[in-house]
Structure 1
């Protein structure tokens, strides 16, 4: 057999070995020094030859399996410009492989350029090797048709990363920054060197971050996290809200340590990158070094502490005083004592934490805050932590934050949320290149979310809850984003409810005549209004108002019982009044309507308290109006008929029997349909 070159001979040898079921390899290849052409080569079976003996074999506890059996070989020599097979041995002294395992033989496995590109793209997209290999095998119809295995996939990625890190950690990082600057000259980075001229702290920001900070940099949250890179460096991110109330990134940093000097350098680098624009509000956790650096660099900003971290620390440090006498009495039954002690501790700690939470979120008056905080001090045995947190009360208490611009932010929850997203994509063994690539993926995901929100805001019209919305709401729906408009509309509705019933003026006549009870709409997943950050604030206030109303209702319970008895007597007197009296009351009730209206009576008070017929009819729903008017007609008619029968006149009795009898039976039937009690009808008859 003749071949033009060694590549053609090797391709034939591979094809033949695949059909027969054995692995092959190149034994040697000789080339001419003058022109580099192959003069001779030898292709052998993978089991050709014998493994040489090692003097340390007797020390090996787990020796490798033997794979060499001195099997066949093929030798080719060059003659007349082509390679000719000069020697061949086709017999094998070992078992051949099955056709189903062809894809597992080393000589048959190879990653092409296209497959290498797809493997790299899958790795950049965050797809794991196992999932990427499964996808590739499905694309070609199964793993037997794929030219490489999962181990080859992982080996290729490891080799690629080693090539990328050829310049070392620092060199690879600087190369990444230079590539970013080449893409967009607005990309900025800063490095801080230590005394040994080694890179300690790193800060970077791209063009999109600079632009977003210029628009939304009024409120900034900063926090650090660990376990995102191979060197275990603290990773810090500056984040904030955009116009859709979604997370935007303003900058990122890899730090060597969390000291005052490092934080000060980082915050100064942040301001330099954003042209000295200081945020109005800056949220951090309770780290002392970080707080000191914020006060020195961001002098014009209001520094807020994360309420979530404060509550976590409160749960650790706040405990109520224990009653030692009760402890001694309960030592008899140890099991019962442990259970009761656990429950009692939970209740005590919950009550103290509830008081502390109220001081943090509810009290808007400084005097009330000081009073409640002093009462809480008496419940706590150790006040060291409480005294330390009280010194910085201006940074977390609601009463000191009335004039602070926070956009509803009270914690570093945005930073914590972003850190969780980062930890999903990051691993602690990531080198610097893989760290930067996956961080870009996370940031790009946040920006894609903003684009989706922008698309939805242009496609979907905002929902106006009012049938006849005022021009202000219509204009706001066109200017604001859906989330901001939802919050604005909720506040507008609350303002209307607050000012809906004036206390110094009688209502207009059309309010009473057109009064209707609002039909209750069952809230579903589609009809339920999305809660905003302002709803949480109002929910806390409503809870507080309900607690205060409980005491007032308890004190007014006896007064309501007396008014209920008086109301029943008044209704009985009104029911037996004459038809003329009824008409007079309907025509002269405007003054009394104002009294009822101005008193802001609830629906329960309308039913139980003393009230005139006109006011009752005007303020109740359509169905109750119909019921009560029919009852009045029923009473009026029965009373008139009864008077006529009592006269003893034959003419009246005849008219009652002939003309009025049908109407009487009709009204009595109507009373039964309306649910008038039998005793009620019998008294009327």
Structure 2
């Protein structure tokens, strides 16, 4: 498997200074000279690479070759790398470093020129300006291959260049030239993505026609398209009316899913999504992402918020891109932002492939170290133990992840709600849902969107059909507690199972009251715990209010009470779950009721003076009525009658208004 170095190094390069943290320098191999040593200090003395030269890692080889190149006066890049699957893990086995002038600029195959039209304008016949390329076929390279867990050997080596190398003081100029070349490559990539999405002519009319058709079918459909200075599409956002309804109920925690964008076989489609009362994926809108810059993402977020009536979520989860992070800060100043740890775990397989090959259990140990601790103290102890056990204190990637731990480790994210029932279960993504349902590599963007919409509609249909059975479930109870029966009657099957697990676990905890007062203090500890996760949790409890706070903060994070608070409840005689601890979004009543409390009073007053705002507000309420009315034949009849009565009332008012003011009958 070959991949470019720019893709491989995207995360750590883009985020090395995030949150004021710097990634530590890569440790040099004991076999290679230190680039900062005296051997490379003078202009006349430096060590050349040689066949068979050994390094402790591919990073050490790159550091050495880069220092060597700077002394000679040329730039380098990673041309190729290869991985192999060993013991079930993708392991990096080869890397090739080349001169910046290696290779030749690839010319696109010329398409047969059509016959010129008689009235063709002079401007249309002009040829495109040829862009200069800094590549001239230089063969200089150094290739290293893995010969063991800590042994990389120079396998191929070419020292001669086909060009005059620049003096050391011009290396900075060379790097600037490379940056300019990267900008050109970026523009070319943007054009290639447009061609991939819209065809060789780059015609976006298909997408626009789709938006117009959807808006004709549904007046609540919202869309917006961003164009650049040449009127070429850069990004687009669209939101269906049902997406707005789902956002009304489950928009407290949002994920901006970019898994499709990072897959070359899928269209550059991003999805605003969340979790419904069953913990399943629901969609809040889509974005076509061609421009992945900070400004591009900022436009996407601002536009999406406009479509959602400027209602901000409590939290948002994204991948760890700098452009995304900066855009989130600007567009969602009051929203808590975190990085998706499951994407980080996936990236670890590439970044730590050497270590995973050497220590097969390390991947699972890292996941347990991150997922299991429910507070900062436990995580810190666990992380230090892991680093010491495998001697990882000098590892760049883990040092970088530790530096941004407050952005992705659950123990640091307990003050905000993320609608995450379990820290061990990976949430659904577009990529996962489409696997087996739509072959993304063989369908166009529009067909992909249509197929995915059909898939989501099918899921909603199944959910609606099973609603009658869900209304009266018969869960298997594990205790004779009244609280368990109460929870079984209000929670959905999925959320009840999580609560039930916490309830049963609470029976294995020892609780001691350590302080009296308005908020009594309790110490809670698991009986017989001997592992590294042993920890004494602290719970503060107010008996009159039946309100409690635990330092694990599970309720704040997930909306389900933790075992520690439940243990205190049993000790103090609280036999029923207080209503303020039953989070509606996890119950069977999540989408029940008129939800009038969701109406912003300030927005309601604005609607009195704006036709467009009244329109949007009525569409949202009407869509709620439609969604509930379609759930069963009985609800359908009720909704139909209510809508007809409303129309009759409006028609009666218009008729009376016209009689009172015949001269202004056209104004309503």
Q: TM-score, normalised by structure 1?
A: 0.42
User: Relative CO higher for 1 or 2, CA cutoff 8 Å, sep ≥ 6?
Assistant: 2
Structure with more strand by fraction: 2
Larger radius of gyration: 1
Structure with more helix by fraction: 1
